[in-house]
A and B are shown apart, each in its own frame.
Chain A
Amino acid sequence: AQSVTQPDIHITVSEGASLELRCNYSYGATPYLFWYVQSPGQGLQLLLKYFSGDTLVQGIKGFEAEFKRSQSSFNLRKPSVHWSDAAEYFCAVGGKDSNYQLIWGAGTKLIIKP
């Protein structure tokens, strides 16, 4: 079965600290992977995506993610977080196995300590 697991419901980090949000997926076919961010009261905004090629992808707002096929992971990282990064982050996977629809993780809420 296709699924996306974001093991951390909440993560709290200090402003200026580094961040890693975990995403693991279960997917048979070639996965297309996404990270989206949702600020309070807003819709989701695409941070970055992986389709093929270089497994380290760069996104907006200084975020990056690394695709590790052997670990079925697509973790999101940022070297130094800002208070404005406080939001909910969603990982998603899509492809042939899900009729090309996206399967979404439950989200990780990022809290920034001043």
Chain B
Amino acid sequence: GAGVSQSPSNKVTEKGKDVELRCDPISGHTALYWYRQSLGQGLEFLIYFQGNSAPDKSGLPSDRFSAERTGGSVSTLTIQRTQQEDSAVYLCASSPHAHRIAAKNIQYFGAGTRLSVL
């Protein structure tokens, strides 16, 4: 596809249920990021995948959150036993190549998944 694709665009779930959010990055992009955007807040870094390297999971808020990236392409963010405070927009971004200084990677964002936990 032309851009980063995220699905679903909206997800409503009940407290305690598990959810999976999907991100399909731009073809050929080696780096992939997940962020959480709460209402009125900036973006909160969750996890960063770079090629075949071990992911940087330093932003995951609890062990209920996990993510994987299969075949260096599609990524899934899983939230187990969802809580109301998990309600937010979850954004995925990808970068075309791995600059050795990750902060210089220009990130291309998907439209996000809006998660509502009732």
User: A residues engaging B (CB < 8 A)?
Assistant: 4, 9, 32, 36, 41-46, 49, 51, 90, 92, 94-95, 98-102, 104-107
Contact = CB atoms under 8 A, between A and B. Distances in A.
A4 B110 contact: no
A46 B56 contact: no
Interface in B89-118: 91, 93, 101-104, 106-112
Contact of B45 (A4, A45, A102, A107): A102
A42 B41 CA distance: 16
Given A90-B42, A100-B101, A106-B41, A44 B56 contact: no
Contacts of A101: 45, 48, 56, 58-59, 102-103
B79 interface: no
26 contacts: A9-B40, A32-B101, A42-B111, A43-B91, A43-B108, A43-B110, A44-B43, A44-B93, A46-B106, A46-B108, A92-B43, A94-B103, A94-B104, A95-B101, A99-B56, A100-B101, A100-B103, A101-B58, A101-B102, A102-B43, A102-B45, A104-B44, A106-B40, A106-B41, A106-B42, A107-B42
Given A46-B106, A101-B102, A106-B41, 10 more contacts: A4-B42, A9-B40, A90-B42, A92-B43, A101-B45, A101-B48, A102-B45, A102-B107, A106-B40, A106-B42
Contacts of A106: 40-42
B32 interface: no
Contact of A43 (B4, B41, B42, B59): B4
